[in-house]
Amino acid sequence: MSDIKLSSLFELETVEAGLYRGQSWDLGFRALFGGQVLGQALAAAYETVDKDRVAHSFHTYFLLPGDAKKPVVYDVEIVRDGRSFSARRVKAIQDGRNIFYMTASFQVPQEGMHHQAPEMPDVPPPEEVQSDIDFYQENFSKIARPMREALSYHKPVDIRTINAANSYQPVKRDPTRYIWMKARDPLVGSLSVHQAAVAYASDYHFLSTSLQPHGVAVTDKSLRMATIDHAMWFHRPVNLNEWLLYAMDSPFSGGARGLVRGQIFTQQGELVASTSQEGLMRQVDV
């Protein structure tokens, strides 16, 4: 079990009205993990809306790489409060520079017409899939030194990648990926905490799905990857205390960019959230 609590990442310090500070986790990547900024920005926006309103979508742009060794300040602008919907714009700031923007929309829960088209993929249950942490420890020599030193920060979310070994094999394959994810320690709190946590986890292994048709391993030293934008829609209440299946695919890559889409299902097959992301995907001379 991990001593680092996932919920602590979304416990923001209030600097003043509309201004919040979040502490950073260094996951051993080249820059601050984008999922952290997604989750914390959503948590900051939640601080400014009425308690009866629930986030149903957000759209974001990553402008500059963040520094994982420094906290992030979130400046929340109240764009609109209507009878049913509220809109917020959030700036993430480090060293006086805007590194990220989010526009988030909240709604008073309402009944309405309902349908779900996609079916949950037929994959092995989480109990039959090895945890990524165990896989990393077995392949310790294959992961970068900064990430080796940061493994404890990867433990709060139990992520189990189906056929995880593919990440280290430069073999061309279909641009689809499936992972199970669940909070390792029970998440205590309201729906807002679970949404922030799922937003955080939604950035794991996402953009690298675009590499698969090209036979390029995520560990390739010539590879440069960075998120440009990330969007998410919450269809139903999410609960990261239960296993969720994250089904990802990449319909296109080109122009040094990759596009990925994701659908998040409960074990009962209910679609609870959808995601999309575009990112830089470039190989350089080393």
Report the catalytic residues.
203, 227, 277
For residue 117, count CB atoms less than 10 angstroms from its CB and return exposed for 0-12, middle for 13-18, buried for 19 or more.
exposed
Q: Report the alpha-carbon distance of residue 37 to residue 35 in Å, rounded.
A: 5
CA dihedral 14→234→240→165, nearest 10 degrees, is -110
Question: Which residues, at least 6 apart from 233, have a Cβ–Cβ distance to it below 8 Å?
Answer: 56, 57, 273, 274, 275
CA dihedral 208→209→211→215, nearest 10 degrees, is 120
Q: Report the alpha-carbon distance of residue 232 to residue 50 in Å, rounded.
A: 21
